[in-house]
Amino acid sequence: MSERPGGGANGIGMTSARTRERLVQRLTEQGIRDPRVLDRIRNVPRHLFVDEALGSRAYEDTALPIGHGQTISQPYVVARMTEAATLGGTPAKVLEIGTGCGYQTAVLAPLVGRLYSVERIAGLLTRAKERLRELGIRNVRFKHGDGNLGWPSQSPFDAILLAAAPHAVPQQLLAQLVEGGRLIAPIGPEGRQELLRLTRRGDQFVRERLGFVSFVPLLGGVA
């Protein structure tokens, strides 16, 4: 259903089914295969997660600023990470590092049993909670904290996703995976990051390369 420009918070003229379907088609052409992930990209209202001034660009396959020096990830990367974490199944417990505006959270949450999401910037976390509540997403627990530390009291996790890039693989997060659990993370300095999936096999981790990406750096502490 097309929405009239200027018709309130949701009415930005760029939320029609046709616009969203073009985005889904593009992601399919780029190799996203899981129909559940494509359905979430189709149905999550991405325009609600960006400033109204950027609403007309919400369904472009591009990252956009969300304030505090952070960005909303491009839909392809969100879909790729979600697909890599769920692997056609439904992981019971998943940890997300970097709630940000909550878009990745909204895409991922219905595909897992329970999602634990950590964000270091209080202002972003407050807004993300409000948006997800408005969308009726109830299986997420939030924490204002340092993502480098993970969430030890709730570990172990079936999957861990990082929405910000550490320079090296974070050993403290790997320790919070179950046997067979997967860590999906962009690794490396700004401008030279590679998306990796590391799967736990006993004390070893099988590394898979998922392509080159561009993320904000993973910072320590809280703000």
Query: Which residues are catalytic, by number?
Result: 73
Structure tokens at 128: 């993300």
Cβ–Cβ under 8 Å, residues 158 and 91: yes
Cβ–Cβ under 8 Å, residues 94 and 112: yes
Separation CA 62–CA 151 (nearest Å): 30
* Partners of 140 in the β-ladder: 115
Residue whose C-alpha is closest to residue 23's, from 42, 39, 10: 42
* Partners of 159 in the β-ladder: 94, 182
Structure tokens at 152: 């030890």
Separation CA 118–CA 15 (nearest Å): 29
3-state SS, residue 126: helix
Cβ–Cβ under 8 Å, residues 95 and 178: no
Q: How many residues does the chain have?
A: 223
What are the distances in angstroms from CA 137 to CA 128, 157, 191? 11, 20, 34
